[in-house]
């Protein structure tokens, strides 16, 4: 009887995915699948991981088929929940990844059998190389590879694609002022399939991306195109990295593209613009051809910076950092927008010192924000920080992690969260990539394993 009731609930929650309304998108379907996964399928979460990976790379027809399969499997194998083992010491862990040199964090994504991490490493020959690390669900390294194109190479975003991964960032030559956007496609073992440089005579960088059935969408900035010294740059490519269209956006002399997500009828992006001597948050809606539909600007008299955006069934939620309002010098800033980008509510999070937001994760009944905080330290040193809020941005709890100075990203998992960032407080070198698996309350289990080996 319970299974029949749950399937009736699921039919309603999946209705918008099957109807394929213009305002819908794959992110909404992911939220609904996560709902049933957390409701009962725990030991079977490997199948959930498989569905999540597939939804990023397939088209509409295949997506619907997979959703039906998931409902059937959920009904047939719900008994696996009753026999799920208790949490063990390998489930919660804290590890660093790096060498004796300096590593920087770019991005982390959850995949079927673990996680993929992208960043950069300062090599022995005075070059920055792209660093991509595949780890399993316990944080152990599966493979660890460096990629050098020129003298200055960095990966700022990574995504799972069919039979591999794609990373985006920048590349440049020492002694030259210009940088190019760089795409790197690798297979499941980390071997290069192709790499592409994009840009013009000036500087280009790609900071965020999303995967579509026919290619990829990116956002960053450019000085080769647009009216100001630096414009927000939205770029659509096919599966081979060939540009289909690009658009330079923004206002004023300096603009920065920060994050982009696909929607049912186009794309939504956020960035920073310099206006009247201060930075403001800009939100831009694009159609599927990259043409601007609308833009909104939010900010005050001081500097305000965009960090991350999520697509919701009724609009968008943005994580940003503000100096214009709040309790301290800087505070995390949440903004809820309707489908047309109009502000519905906003809220600040933080204490009397500097606190900043880097990423926001939608967990269905609220949000989890990652960033850094100096408010909890007597010495005013920044620590990695995550905050859980309700659906209106009100704080439920916050956690501080002393071993790292920033939490760049947080990812929801069936039993908690993966948090990733940078540390110089422990590890192998001057700076290392830091990843921690915590429970649903943001706590690291006391029996967790010690820090892992460094490459």
- pLDDT confidence of residue 431: 86
The torsion angles phi and psi of 35, rounded to 5 degrees, stand at -55, -50
- pLDDT confidence of residue 212: 96
Segment 417-441 shows an average pLDDT of 89
Q: In whole angstroms, how far apart are CA 237 and each of 162, 187, 216, 240, 290?
A: 16, 19, 5, 7, 11
Whether 231 has a pLDDT exceeding 50, the answer reads: yes
- Average the pLDDT over each of 171-180, 255-264, 350-359 and give the range with the smallest value: 171-180
Calpha distance 152→133 (Å, rounded): 19
Spatial strand order in the sheet of 255-263:
255-263, 266-275, 278-286, 292-298
Alpha carbon 172 to its chain's center: 24
Tokens of 312: 């919701």
Closest CA to 96 of 443, 430, 437, 432: 432
- pLDDT confidence of residue 380: 55
User: In the structure, what pLDDT confidence band is assigned to residue 32 with cuts at 50, 70 and 90?
Assistant: very low
- pLDDT confidence of residue 75: 57
Tokens of 327: 């309790």
Whether 65 has a pLDDT exceeding 80, the answer reads: no
Q: In whole angstroms, how far apart are CA 18 and each of 9, 10, 21, 75, 265?
A: 14, 12, 8, 19, 16
- pLDDT confidence of residue 227: 83
Whether 433 has a pLDDT exceeding 50, the answer reads: yes
Q: In whole angstroms, how far apart are CA 292 and each of 186, 282, 288, 338?
A: 32, 13, 10, 17
Whether 216 has a pLDDT exceeding 60, the answer reads: yes
Calpha distance 297→280 (Å, rounded): 7
Residue 31 vs residue 268, higher pLDDT: 268
Whether 85 has a pLDDT exceeding 60, the answer reads: no
Share above pLDDT 90 across residues of the chain, in percent, rounded to a whole number? 63
Tokens of 257: 């593209």
Segment 162-169 shows an average pLDDT of 96
Highest mean pLDDT out of 36-40, 193-197, 412-416: 193-197
Residue 318 vs residue 102, higher pLDDT: 318
Calpha distance 207→203 (Å, rounded): 13
User: In the structure, what pLDDT confidence band is assigned to residue 328 with cuts at 50, 70 and 90?
Assistant: confident
- pLDDT confidence of residue 330: 95
User: In the structure, what pLDDT confidence band is assigned to residue 13 with cuts at 50, 70 and 90?
Assistant: very low
- Average the pLDDT over each of 51-65, 127-141, 341-355 and give the range with the smallest value: 51-65
Categorise residue 324: left if φ over 0, alpha if ψ from -120 to 50, beta otherwise: alpha
Share above pLDDT 70 across residues of the chain, in percent, rounded to a whole number? 75
Whether 86 has a pLDDT exceeding 80, the answer reads: no
- pLDDT confidence of residue 444: 87
Whether 138 has a pLDDT exceeding 90, the answer reads: yes
Categorise residue 210: left if φ over 0, alpha if ψ from -120 to 50, beta otherwise: beta
User: In the structure, what pLDDT confidence band is assigned to residue 82 with cuts at 50, 70 and 90?
Assistant: very low
Q: What is the 3-state secondary structure (H, E, C) of 321-378?
A: EECCCCCCCCEEEEEEECCCCCEEEEEEECCCCCEEEEEEEECCCEEEEEEEECCCCC
Tokens of 162: 């069919």
Segment 8-13 shows an average pLDDT of 44
The residues, any chain, with a CB within 8 Å of residue 385's CB and separated by 6 or more, are 355, 370, 371, 372, 373, 376, 398, 399, 400, 401, 407
User: In the structure, what pLDDT confidence band is assigned to residue 59 with cuts at 50, 70 and 90?
Assistant: low
Whether 364 has a pLDDT exceeding 50, the answer reads: yes
Average per-residue pLDDT in the chain?
A: 83
User: In the structure, what pLDDT confidence band is assigned to residue 209 with cuts at 50, 70 and 90?
Assistant: very high
Residue 8 vs residue 103, higher pLDDT: 103
Whether 112 has a pLDDT exceeding 70, the answer reads: yes
User: In the structure, what pLDDT confidence band is assigned to residue 43 with cuts at 50, 70 and 90?
Assistant: very low
- pLDDT confidence of residue 124: 67
- pLDDT confidence of residue 67: 63
Whether 191 has a pLDDT exceeding 90, the answer reads: yes
């Amino acid at each position: 009887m319970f299974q029949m009731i749950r399937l009736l609930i699921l039919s309603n929650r999946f209705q918008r995915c099957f109807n394929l309304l213009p305002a819908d998108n794959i992110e909404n379907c992911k939220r609904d699948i996560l709902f049933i996964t957390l409701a009962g399928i725990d030991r079977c979460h490997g199948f959930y991981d498989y569905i999540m990976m597939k939804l990023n790379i397939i088209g509409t027809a295949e997506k619907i088929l997979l959703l039906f399969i998931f409902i059937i499997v959920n009904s047939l194998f719900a008994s696996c929940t009753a026999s799920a083992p208790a949490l063990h010491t390998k489930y919660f862990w804290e590890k660093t990844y790096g060498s004796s040199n300096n590593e920087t964090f770019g991005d982390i994504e959850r995949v079927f059998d673990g996680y993929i991490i992208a960043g950069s490493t300062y090599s022995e020959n005075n070059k920055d190389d792209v660093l991509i690390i595949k780890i399993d669900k316990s944080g152990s390294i599966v493979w660890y590879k460096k990629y050098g194109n020129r003298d200055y190479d960095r990966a700022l975003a990574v995504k799972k694609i069919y039979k591999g991964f794609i990373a985006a960032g920048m590349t440049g030559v020492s002694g030259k002022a210009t940088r190019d956007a760089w795409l790197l496609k690798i297979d499941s073992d980390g071997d290069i399939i192709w790499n592409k440089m994009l840009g013009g005579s000036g500087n280009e960088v790609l900071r965020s991306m999303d995967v579509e059935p026919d290619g990829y969408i990116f956002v960053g900035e450019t000085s080769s195109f647009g009216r100001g010294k630096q414009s927000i740059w939205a770029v659509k490519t096919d599966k081979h990295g060939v540009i289909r269209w690009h658009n330079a956006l923004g206002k004023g002399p300096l603009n920065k593209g920060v994050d982009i997500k696909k929607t049912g009828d186009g794309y939504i992006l956020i960035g920073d613009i310099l206006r009247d001597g201060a930075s403001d948050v800009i939100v831009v809606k694009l159609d599927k051809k990259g043409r601007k539909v609308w833009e909104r600007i939010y900010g005050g008299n001081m500097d305000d910076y965009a960090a991350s955006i999520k697509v919701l069934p009724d609009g968008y939620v943005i994580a940003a950092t503000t100096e214009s309002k709040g309790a301290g010098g800087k505070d995390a800033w949440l903004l809820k927008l309707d489908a047309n980008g109009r502000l519905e509510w906003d809220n600040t999070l933080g204490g009397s010192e500097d606190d900043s937001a880097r990423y926001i994760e939608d967990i269905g009944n609220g949000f989890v924000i990652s960033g850094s905080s100096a408010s909890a330290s007597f010495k005013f040193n920044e620590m990695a920080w995550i905050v859980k809020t309700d659906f209106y941005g009100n704080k439920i709890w916050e956690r501080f992690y002393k071993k790292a100075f920033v939490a760049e990203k947080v990812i929801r998992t069936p039993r908690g969260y993966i948090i990733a960032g940078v540390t110089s407080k422990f590890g192998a070198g001057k700076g290392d990539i830091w990843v921690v698996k915590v429970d649903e309350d943001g706590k690291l289990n006391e029996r967790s394993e010690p820090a892992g080996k460094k490459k």
